[in-house]
Structure 1
Amino acid sequence: MEKIAFLGLGRMGLPMARRLAAAGYPLTVWNRSPGRAGDLTEAATPAEAVRGADVVVTMLSDPGAVTELAGRFTAALVPGTLWIDMSSIGPRATAALRAGLPDGVALVDAPVMGSTGPAATGDLTVFAGGADADLDRAQPVLEHLGRVRRCGGPGAGAALKVVAIGAIVASVTVLGEVLAVADELGVPQEQAREVLSAGPLAGVAARAFGTGSDFPVRLAAKDLALAGGGPVLVAARQVLLAHPEIAEEDLSAVPGALRRGR
């Protein structure tokens, strides 16, 4: 089995790294804040972690974090190394990372949909983009983490993740606003939630009213920023940023915050 270096042991990264270790992969990990690795083999620096690795997996919070980290380990990569970036950073940042790689080093973009629970059980959805040969090589590793959806060439996985998460975050935000309107109009919350959960927005309602997920609002706002452009997504992001008190809470906290703010 190929030797793996896993960089980034946050909410999602640690359970993902543990799954790869449990699958039998020789694994070395690194995290910006040391001491989270437990019984996993932890390197002192990113360059030390990737030295001798066949596959490098990164799972970080945003484009800036990935770019900064890349500057600390890419020079240590040797030809034949495969880098799988599972962070949600969008296609532009992914293209910039790919352009800065040493000759002979390949990159697969493989951001995920799902929270900490699916990360621990291997039930994430993985959006994978890259050259066919690189995707073939990444597939066995990624299958230990979730259901792999091949999206196309380089950057395609990063792009589809932006589309999917943008729709979810904006929709949950709109649903929160609608529930605030229900309060103003005297519609009982239970009645409004029942109708919304039974209609076309059932999936969005399940996410907004559900428990057990751990997707911080600050990261949801970051993902909307990656989508750029249109007025609806921009407005939804502004709404999220206007409620810093829930920045570290799950996305399902948005409806309650909007109702309190009206």
Structure 2
Amino acid sequence: MSKKVAFLGLGVMGFPMAGHLANDGYDVTVYNRTPAKAEAWAEKYKGKTAATPREAALDAEIVMACVGNDDDLRSVVLGEDGAFSGMGKGTIFVDHTTASADVARELAAAGETLGIGFIDGPVSGGQAGAENGVLTVMCGGDEASFSAVKGAVESYAQAVTLLGPVGAGQLTKMVNQICIAGLVQGLSEGMHFAQKAGLDAKQVAGVISKGAAQSWQMENRYDSMVDDKFDFGFAVDWMRKDLGIALAEADRLNTSLPVTALVDQFYGDVQALGGGRWDTSSLIRRLRQLGKSYKA
């Protein structure tokens, strides 16, 4: 593939991801719903901006997107001003949005009629992972399309894996969020219990993180939990969106996610406390502010 790419969506993830592409020598054109952010990106990385997704996609061999949800994704892909209308045969669209497996299959089918390849590639690693270029990317699609875009994706990723046909990336991201939800709730309860018991919670975390309780969440979030600081990181609103996708897919699969469903409700309590933009580790504040009311 050539070095000409387009990137759609410059949020806390997309902005640095597109920047890594530019720093790696790719000819990058960006589009963002808020033009000022695209202009700020172009000034920082010496790239180009476009007024519409279609304009950004013209002449690009790879078009990447990282937007909010299924509807946002459709809005930048489909229609007269969508990316597909500017892409030619043999080009490939890579979607880094955490969205449903259904929309991935829908857009892949639409792309196929136009001769456009499609990879669903949701990411894990958060804002810090995007800024440091060490994201984990979970991909669904065909081998040829994956091989063609892997090098570009590696500009901002430490691991890029093809897990199956279109939709497999989104399903894997659902597994990721299901696992994280339970871990964060368990860590919140553990740190809250440690403080209530009069222990030095940070010292406790330092000890147990060397054993079987160790996790990324423990290593990276026990400090902020103990200090009650949550004005950073992966927002509760985003997590609830992701868990909603997973729970809806579980319904379609006729399977049960009881812990995930419960933690999703707990995040709803955090939103009610005004914490929609707090980091997901803020589950511990729910325990502090609601006291024993969480009991059934």
Show the counterpart of 2:162: 150
Counterpart of 1:30, as a letter, is Y
Q: Is the counterpart of residue 106 in structure 1 residue 120 in structure 2?
A: no
Show the counterpart of 2:176: 164
Task: Note the C-alpha offset of 1:195.
Answer: 5.6
CA offsets, 1:118-173, max 9 Å, x none?
A: 21221111112210100110111111111212222222222111101220123202
Query: Which structure 1 residue ranges, 5 or more long, are not aligned?
Result: none
Q: 2:241 aligns with which of 222, 245, 251?
A: 222
The residue matched to 1:154 in structure 2 has which SS?
coil
**Residues 266 and 283 in structure 2, CA contact (< 8 A), matched pair in contact too:** no
Show the counterpart of 1:23: 24
Q: 1:55 aligns with which of 54, 58, 62?
A: 62
Q: Is the counterpart of residue 251 in structure 1 residue 280 in structure 2?
A: yes
Q: Which has the higher contact order (CA 8 A, sep 6+)?
A: 1
Task: Note the C-alpha offset of 1:97.
Answer: 1.8
**Residues 10 and 60 in structure 1, CA contact (< 8 A), matched pair in contact too:** yes
**Residues 8 and 60 in structure 1, CA contact (< 8 A), matched pair in contact too:** yes
Alpha-carbon distance in structure 2 between the residues aligned to 1:51 and 1:35: 21
Taking structure 1 as the reference length, what is the TM-score of the superposition?
0.90
Task: Note the C-alpha offset of 1:69.
Answer: 2.2
Show the counterpart of 1:137: 148
Counterpart of 2:11, as a letter, is G
Q: 1:232 aligns with which of 254, 259, 264?
A: 259
Counterpart of 1:46, as a letter, is P
Tell me whether 188-197 or 119-128 shows the greater mean CA deviation: 188-197
Show the counterpart of 1:206: 219
Q: Structure 1 residues 132 and 12 mapped into 2: Cα distance closer, same or farther (>3 Å)?
A: same
Identity %: 30
The residue matched to 2:29 in structure 1 has which SS?
strand
The residue matched to 2:12 in structure 1 has which SS?
coil
Task: Note the C-alpha offset of 1:88.
Answer: 1.0
Give the ranges of 4+ consecutive aligned residues of structure 1 lying more than 6 Å apart after TM superposition: none
**Residues 202 and 223 in structure 2, CA contact (< 8 A), matched pair in contact too:** no
Counterpart of 2:50, as a letter, is A
Query: Which structure 2 residue ranges, 5 or more long, are not aligned?
Result: 225-230, 251-256, 292-296
Show the counterpart of 2:73: 66
Tell me whether 203-212 or 64-73 shows the greater mean CA deviation: 203-212
Size of the aligned set, in residue pairs, is 262
Show the counterpart of 1:86: 96
Counterpart of 1:243, as a letter, is V
Counterpart of 1:62, as a letter, is N
